[in-house]
């Protein structure tokens, strides 16, 4: 998640039980041209391992160098994003819109796999219109995507259960996810198939996992302000129940998060903490008052003083 999954956030997720964490997605073009900012985005701490770098771009010839840079940093794996619907990515033919050129998709996957030894995973969505704005022309689906790359040694696949045209609203298509899982396992029986979408409750996540028979879930937007979902899901899977998060745990997590961000980005980058803090107090009876204070924090001590009020 761009602007969210930086190193401090990934560390918080690992503390709460995440098995694998992904970096913010980084442009292969930027890596190819040695962008210092992009290299910083895939910097990580040992606690984050296994950490996977998510990369995107439409020029297959740039992937070998970008992938080698990632591998040389000691990152555990590479995930190619074939699913992003954002205008700045998909609008230029990247992300999910790459599926409109499956020959290029194959070139990208092949170029990456032939360049590094670390595992490669891919992320996509269930479908998009073959021609933008013309649904009558048909769709390209995740099944077409799987067919295109079936001969390559893919380690894992993440599929978002919505289309390009309905990127974040409405329910996920569980039937499409189940079909994708079954097709994936035909070609990569030992591979890991993960479902993705804005799942909101522990119970619904478990139900969807069982229905689709997926190996796991790639949590994204549902984590905003509640990184403890990892632990709750695992507890539910093991015991059939889970504990609600306590006020003290929310406070401790927010403070720890702010400290990690300060250590990572210092005073100049600390404003980034404000958006996370707004998520942490969502639903609180005094949320409006707390938000007014939290949008002005400048250091971890400010966070401590405000969070103690909840």
pLDDT in tens, 71-100: 999 999 999 999 999 888 998 889 999 999
Distance CA 124, CA 142 (A): 7
Q: What's the pLDDT tens digit per position in 161-198?
A: 999 998 888 889 999 999 999 999 999 999 999 999 86
Select the CATH number that applies to the domain covering 247-307 from these four: 1.10.8, 3.30.2000, 1.25.40, 1.10.1200: 1.10.1200
Residue 195: phi and psi, rounded to 5, are -100, 155
Per-residue pLDDT band at 284 (split at 50, 70, 90): confident
Q: Is the pLDDT of residue 1 over 70?
A: no
Which pLDDT belongs to residue 308? 83
Q: Is the pLDDT of residue 9 over 90?
A: yes
Q: What is the mean pLDDT of the chain?
A: 94
Q: Which residue has the higher pLDDT, 221 or 47?
A: 47
Is domain 7-239 given the CATH code 3.30.565.10 in the classification?
A: no
Which pLDDT belongs to residue 88? 87
Name the residue ranges covered by the structural domains of the chain.
Answer: 7-239, 247-307
Which neighbouring-strand residues pair with 195? 159, 217
Per-residue pLDDT band at 206 (split at 50, 70, 90): very high
Per-residue pLDDT band at 275 (split at 50, 70, 90): very high
Give mean pLDDT, residues 28-34. 96
Contacts 24+ apart (CB under 8 A), 234-237: 234/17, 236/202, 236/203, 236/206, 237/206
Closest among 108, 18, 16, 112 to 58, alpha carbons compared: 108
Strands 156-160 and 192-196: parallel
Q: Is 66 helix (H, G, I), strand (E, B) or coil?
A: helix
Structure token pair of residue 299: 């250091």
**What percent of the chain lies above the pLDDT cut of 90?**
83
């Amino acid at each position: 998640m761009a602007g969210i999954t930086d190193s401090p956030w990934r560390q918080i997720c690992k503390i709460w039980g995440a098995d694998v964490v992904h970096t913010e997605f980084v442009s292969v073009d930027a890596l190819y041209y040695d962008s210092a900012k992009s290299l910083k985005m895939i910097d990580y701490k040992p606690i984050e391992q296994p950490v996977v770098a998510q990369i995107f771009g439409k020029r297959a010839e740039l992937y070998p160098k970008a992938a080698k840079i990632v591998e040389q940093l000691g990152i555990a794996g590479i995930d190619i994003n074939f699913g992003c619907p954002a205008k700045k990515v998909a609008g230029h033919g990247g992300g999910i819109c790459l599926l409109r050129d499956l020959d290029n998709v194959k070139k990208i996957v092949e170029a990456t796999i032939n360049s590094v030894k670390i595992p490669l995973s891919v992320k996509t969505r269930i479908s998009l219109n073959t021609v933008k704005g013309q649904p009558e022309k048909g769709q390209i689906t995740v099944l077409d995507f799987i067919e295109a790359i079936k001969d390559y040694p893919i380690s894992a696949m993440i599929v978002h259960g919505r289309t390009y045209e309905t990127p974040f609203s409405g329910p996920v298509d569980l039937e499409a996810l189940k079909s994708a899982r079954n097709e994936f396992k035909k070609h990569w029986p030992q591979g890991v198939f993960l479902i993705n979408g804005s799942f909101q409750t522990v119970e619904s996540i478990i139900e969807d996992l069982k229905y689709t028979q997926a190996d796991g879930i790639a949590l994204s937007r549902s984590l905003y302000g509640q990184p403890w979902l990892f632990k709750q899901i695992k507890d539910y899977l093991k015991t059939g129940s889970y504990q609600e998060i306590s006020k003290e745990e929310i406070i401790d997590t927010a403070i720890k998060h702010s400290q990690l961000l300060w250590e990572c980005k210092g005073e100049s980058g600390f404003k980034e903490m404000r958006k996370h803090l707004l998520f942490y107090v969502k639903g609180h009876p005094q949320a409006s008052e707390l938000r007014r204070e939290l949008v002005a924090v400048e250091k971890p001590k400010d966070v401590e003083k405000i969070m103690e009020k909840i």
